[in-house]
Amino acid sequence: MSTPIPASGDPSGSMAAHGSRLDPHLARYAARTHGMTASEIRALFSVASRPEVVSLAGGMPNIAALPMDVVAATVAEMLSKRGHVALQYGSGQGDPILREQICEIVGLQGVHPHPDDVVVTVGSQMALDLVTRIFCDPGDVILAEAPSYVGALGVFRAYQVDVEHVAMDEHGLMPEALREALAMLAKQGRAPKFLYTIPSFHNPAGVSQPAERRAEILQICQNAGVLVIEDDPYGLLGFDGQIPQAMRAQDADGVIYLGSFSKTFAAGIRVGWAVAPHGVREKLTLAAEAAVLCPPAYSQLTISTYLSTQPWMDQVKAFREVYRERRDATLESLEQHMPEGTSWTKPDGGFYVWLTLPPGMDATAMLPRAITARVAYVPGTAFYMNGEGRRSIRLSYCFPEPDRIREGVRRLAGVLEEELELIATFGTAIGAPGTHGAGAPETTAPGPEVM
């Protein structure tokens, strides 16, 4: 984190003329901006998008599986029938018809809200931003899984929130670790504002909480008086066709449920939602109106028309098959190529595999060599607030074709073999930017490490 530069009293920014800073407005920024940094995923995009690089980094949905003729027909019908509404301002809470349709969708996960409990947002990322805005002051603490969604960590940084990570295993967030975290915070006299969790097909870990663990985690939070923020963008994308029941289904007052059409329709449409208790919903709506006045009516009515005129669940099933094929290609290739000592999760849905490297390796330091070998991934450190995760990698299988995935895993395995040879020879993979050097302490993330 950069050290704040005190205001000089010179609004002209003359300090920049003397070469002391590049941005003449640096002293004017709010303190919260010091935590705003580009995510490691965004920084990779310019390199990973090169055609010669196999990108296993970005979690972009596979839009090629969405028939564009259907989308075009949907938009044409929407404009012909409701164009005058789609191109106008709308409600800050969202289109009433779409909110009713969202209630039908979340009913598949056991959530049965009233349409008045739904707030439509510009993607679920906005919903998370609004929730953090209305609950957290600078210095407040929240609980989040270790590892956790990088976009959520960016929101928490922006609002100057302290994150206490809670360890996971192959079944998701560990109840005992949650109890320990709550006990530790209680000794410090600190009460967490909420627990942030992705229980179904976790990003980045790829694991899911079984029903009995969800119930236990919810009970722990109820006993401690802790609100749960349940983020569920992947819940309909289970490869066995089973739809996990949401934690919100068991507690309508203690859980705020976030969802999105980004993975089940199209990310570019930018429509998500929050299902919240009545009082929270009122504040979310006010915060949303302050941010954007209203979510885009054009996007909302496009989604609403699609849901009412197309067999949208058939399209979800088609997405499942596409992602299952890519998941299988990833796991088969990992089994075939990865060196001994490497482990990984085996997702039952969603987009991601979490890879744990052999002892002594550093995924962040290894990344430049991987790019040279024309394969990209996201280092595990992107998914922690505290610098952990250096032995971890997130692999995304949602976008590349299966053959490209196989080639990417083969290239990555070659990079790992070279790193292991360096470690065997020198005791550490020397020469890579970011390595700590021989004898430096190794940070091992408490994320899931399973085969």
Inside any domain, residue 416: yes
CA distance 85 to 63: 27
Pairing assessment for the beta strands 227-231 and 194-197 based on DSSP bridges: parallel
Q: Is residue 212 part of a domain?
A: yes
**Predicted local confidence at residue 24, as pLDDT:** 86
Cα distance between residue 201 and residue 203, in whole Å:
7
- Domain match, 276 and 367 both: no
pLDDT value for 428: 67
CB environment 259-291: b (16+ within 10 A), e (fewer): bbbbbbbbbebbbbbbbbbeebbebbbebbeee
- Inter-residue contact 381 to 437 (CB < 8 Å): no
243 and 198 share one domain: yes
Question: Is 10 part of any domain?
Answer: no
**Look-up of token digits 């969603």:** 350
Domain count within the chain? 2
344, 353 contact by CB (below 8 A): yes
For residues 53 and 199, membership in a common domain is answered with no
Q: What letter would DSSP give residue 310?
A: S
> 377: helix, coil or strand?
coil
353: left (phi over 0), alpha (psi -120 to 50) or beta: beta
Q: Based on the domain organization, do 273 and 324 belong to the same domain?
A: no
- Cα–Cα distance for residue pair 414/402, rounded to 1 Å: 19
Which of helix, strand or coil describes residue 195? strand
CB 377 within 8 A of CB 56: yes
Which of the listed residues 287, 309, 331 is the one where a domain comes to its end?
Answer: 309
| Final residue before a domain boundary, out of 309, 326, 342 | 309
pLDDT at 121: 98
Residue 323 lies in a domain: yes
Residue 331: which domain range?
A: 40-65+315-426
151's tokens: 């976009």
Give yes or no for a contact between 194 and 228, defined as CB atoms under 8 angstroms apart: yes
- Residue 403 tokens, joined: 């053959």
Domain containing 353 — which CATH number? 3.90.1150.10
Indicate whether 96 belongs to any domain: yes
Together in a domain, 97 and 219? yes
| Interatomic CA distance for residues 380 and 254, integer angstroms | 31
Indicate the DSSP class of residue 399.
Answer: S
Identify residue 214 by its one-letter amino acid code: R
Domain CATH number, residue 174: 3.40.640.10
> What is the spatial distance between Cα 115 and Cα 120, in angstroms, rounded to a whole number?
10
> Based on the domain organization, do 59 and 72 belong to the same domain?
no
pLDDT on residue 5: 33
Distance CA 78, CA 66 (A): 18
In the 8-state DSSP scheme, what is residue 387? S
In whole angstroms, give the CA distance from residue 393 to residue 416: 12
Sequence-distant (6+) residues with CB within 8 A of 282 are: none
**Domain presence at residue 277:** yes
pLDDT score at 58? 86
Q: What is the 3-state secondary structure (H, E, C) of 315-342?
A: HHHHHHHHHHHHHHHHHHHHHHHCCCCC
| Domain assignment of residue 27, yes or no | no
Tens of each residue's pLDDT in the chain, 451 residues = 333 333 334 434 444 344 446 888 888 888 877 767 666 556 665 666 678 899 999 889 999 999 999 999 999 999 999 999 999 999 999 999 999 999 999 999 999 999 999 999 999 999 999 999 999 999 999 999 999 999 999 999 999 999 999 999 999 999 999 999 999 999 999 999 999 999 999 999 999 999 999 999 999 999 999 999 999 999 999 999 999 999 999 999 999 999 999 999 999 999 999 999 999 999 999 999 999 999 999 999 999 999 999 999 999 999 999 999 999 999 999 999 999 999 999 999 999 999 999 999 999 999 999 999 999 999 999 999 998 999 999 999 999 999 999 999 999 999 999 999 988 888 765 544 444 333 333 444 456 754 4
- Say what the pTM is: 0.88
Under 8 Å between Cβ of 86 and 220:
no
* pLDDT in the model for residue 146: 97
- The verdict on 292 and 361 lying in the same domain is no
83 plus 155 within the same structural domain: yes
The arrangement of strands across the sheet holding 343-344 comes to 343-344, 352-356, 392-396, 378-379
Task: Say if residue 292 is in the same domain as residue 356.
Answer: no
Q: Could you give the C-alpha distances from 414 to 57, 147, 215, 223, 420, in angstroms and in order?
A: 17, 26, 42, 49, 10
Examine the fold and report which residue of 268, 293, 309 is the final residue of a domain before the chain moves on: 309
Whether residue 57 is found in the same domain as residue 105 = no
Say whether both 222 and 293 belong to one domain. Answer: yes
Rounded distance between C-alpha atoms, residue 247 and residue 124, angstroms = 17
DSSP 15-31: GGGGTS-S-TTGGGS-G
pLDDT at 50: 78
Indicate whether 110 belongs to any domain: yes
Question: Do 275 and 181 sit in the same domain of this protein?
Answer: yes
pLDDT of the residue at 292: 94
